[in-house]
Amino acid sequence: MAHPFHNILSPVQFDGASYAALDLAKKIAANNDATVHLLHVVPILPAVGESHVTAHVNPREEAQVSEKLREVANERLTGIKCHVMTRAAFPPEVATAVLETAAEIGADLIVLATHGRTGVARFFLGSVAEGVVRGASCPVLTVRAESA
């Protein structure tokens, strides 16, 4: 029987909810001999009054995030093939960054946390998970945060 999942994308926000999703991604990867791709999308927050904004992140910040992802991989993905990657995006474009990364790596499953925000919080913060579910060309498994 062919393995249904070879490349699993797991966006990580360095919180309990995303670690729960990563633990599930690890189990699925172990059962399918798949590779887990850890992704952290670094938010681009322009300064007030800044006339020109680029999609570049401070190289030091990007290096720190990459190192933190490697630490998470070493702690949580022992025995699993994995890659770490970062992207930069403005807050409303985080879901798009996740979807673009999924397409680039040929993900056949995305496993991510959802924080279950509702009302005003959802209006202002949006729902990355919803954007990913709506736009993904592969299955998406969402893991709800315990303390949403």
Q: For residue 126, tell me if it sits in a domain.
A: yes
Q: What is the CATH number of the domain that holds 104?
A: 3.40.50.620
With cut-offs at 50, 70 and 90, classify the pLDDT of residue 61: confident
- Domain span at residue 81 reads 7-144
Walk across the sheet containing 7-11 and list its strands.
Answer: 81-89, 35-43, 7-11, 109-114, 140-144
Q: For residue 13, tell me if it sits in a domain.
A: yes
On the question of pLDDT at 1 being above 50, the answer is no
pLDDT: is 41 or 49 the higher one?
41
Its pTM stands at: 0.85
On the question of pLDDT at 147 being above 50, the answer is no
* Of the candidate ranges 58-62, 80-84, 99-103, the one whose mean pLDDT is the lowest: 58-62
Q: For residue 2, tell me if it sits in a domain.
A: no
- Phi, psi torsion values for 47, nearest 5 degrees: -75, 150
Mean pLDDT of 65-70: 95
Q: How many domains does the chain have?
A: 1
Q: How does the average pLDDT of the chain come out, rounded?
A: 85
On the question of pLDDT at 56 being above 60, the answer is no
Mean pLDDT of 45-53: 61
